Copies of this chain bind each other. A is one copy, B any other.
Amino acid sequence: MSGIKEMVHLLGKGAREAATVLVSATAEEKNKALEAVAVTLEENTAGIQAQNEKDLAKGAENGLSTAMLDRLRLNDKRMKSMIEGVRQIMKLNDPVGRVYDERILPNGLKIYRMRVPIGVIGIIYESRPNVTVDASALTLKSGNAVILRGGSEAINSNLALAKVMADAIASAGLPASSVQLVPTTDREAVGEMLKMDDRIDLIIPRGGEALIRRVVENSTIPVIKHYNGICHVYVDSEADLNMAGEITFNAKVQRPGVCNAAETLLVDQAIAEKFLPKMLERLRKAGVRLKGCERTRQIDKSVEEATEQDWNTEYLDLMLSVRVVDHMESAIEHIERHGSRHTDAIVTENQEKALEFIKRVDSSSVMVNTSTRFSDGAQYGLGAEIGISTDKLHARGPMGLEELTTYKWVVLGNGQLRE
């Protein structure tokens, strides 16, 4: 075994050992460990920031953009907010142990499903060091061990954070190996992680599409991923146009750089001439660059021509593609063809059409008369999220604590035999 392979397998062994302890840790024990994490992060803020400075200096030297450097920076405010995040997670209900689907079978067997931790979760992410803390707190609270593989730009920050957390968890009586960071930025380590299916139960990649694609192609471990958010707002012929305007504006402008912001506006031809002129004017005033189909451009000549590529693009910016469609059917077809199954909304006063849209649009969140920006774990009341899944298996949409658990079947008998 190469040194790296051996090292990764040792991490796997440690994580599996931690998982066998965490599986029966009580909510109190896990919260005690989280409180220790919060306190220790507070006490070690200066030391962590010193390590963060190393990453920042190296990043500047390597020509990272100002935006990248900003994401990397653990200033006081970020440290406070990370620590506050840990304390928020303490307050959430522990999903482990919840019993459901309880039944007595005709032969007297009592059967139910029980929520249990998944086991060992591998998280592969890019630059932001706050993921190191958020992800660790969520996996710990849900009774899982975690192996973290952060971006090379943040390696010193991540090592410092992970060490502080592991020490804190151990001081609270749970295994230090509940939280482990891969201590190298060598790519071979990721390859080894992704094949270690006897020791890791789930991989969650967080980052750009190239990273996620690489993980999916190389992993023999189940992966839950989030590719991108090409979200649509469809304004139906029977929409309240005032409401439609507010929702469109909110979905695009309120925070354009995130996955649940709208990228495409679909407008029913019946109300296009009435709705679009004012809407486009308002968007343009807010600095939104507009691209549109032929019919949109007939209504507003200063809209740029949208190419096929535009309909498939997550702008993450003050840009919007606009298409006039014949009817709801065409809107659903457009979403099926160009969407990313993240979040799509209809604005309509017609309840039947709303129900049809809900049924037919195959997205993780389908919304009626509200902004796609609500597609978010905190907004949905999940407390915190480890990501938003655009997959269909296991977890769809915002992934909270419950989605970091699985279930087992429990069967209680008094001597029943199979005939």
Contacts and interface: CB of A to CB of B under 8 A. Distances in A.
Interface of A: 20, 23-24, 97, 103, 105, 109, 111, 114, 116, 118-119, 197, 201-202, 216-217, 220, 222-224, 240, 243, 246-247, 250, 254-255, 336, 354, 356, 358-360, 362-371, 373-375, 379-381, 391-394, 396-398, 406-419
A45 B396 CA distance: 42
Contacts of A224: 393
Interface SS majority for chain A:
mixed
Contact of A380 (B111, B114, B363, B366): B111
A391 B222 contact: yes
Stoichiometry (number of copies): 2
Given A24-B359, A393-B406, A409-B375, A414 B369 contact: yes
A200 to B, nearest CB: 11
A414 to B, nearest CB: 6
Given A381-B103, A408-B397, A360 B415 contact: no
B369 A408 contact: no
A364 B116 CA distance: 10
Nearest to A246: B417
Given A114-B358, A360-B20, A393-B394, A416 B371 contact: yes
A388 to B, nearest CB: 10
A247 B317 CA distance: 64
A197 B213 CA distance: 11
A242 B362 CA distance: 54
19 contacts: A24-B359, A109-B374, A111-B380, A118-B392, A201-B392, A202-B393, A216-B220, A217-B220, A222-B392, A247-B415, A254-B419, A368-B412, A369-B413, A370-B415, A370-B416, A371-B413, A371-B416, A371-B418, A373-B418
A205 B391 CA distance: 19
A336 B16 CA distance: 10
A195 to B, nearest CB: 9
A370 B240 contact: no
A24 B360 contact: yes
A368 B118 CA distance: 22
A397 B410 CA distance: 11
A180 to B, nearest CB: 19
Contact of A360 (B23, B111, B396): B23
Contacts of A358: 114, 410
Given A114-B358, A250-B417, 7 more contacts: A118-B392, A201-B392, A240-B415, A246-B415, A254-B418, A365-B409, A366-B408
A413 B202 contact: no
B418 A116 contact: no
A109 B367 CA distance: 10
Given A366-B408, A409-B364, A23 B359 contact: yes
Nearest to A361: B408
A396 B392 contact: no
B246 A201 contact: no
A413 B111 contact: no
The 6 closest A-B CB pairs, nearest first, are A370-B413, A373-B418, A394-B394, A250-B417, A365-B409, A393-B394
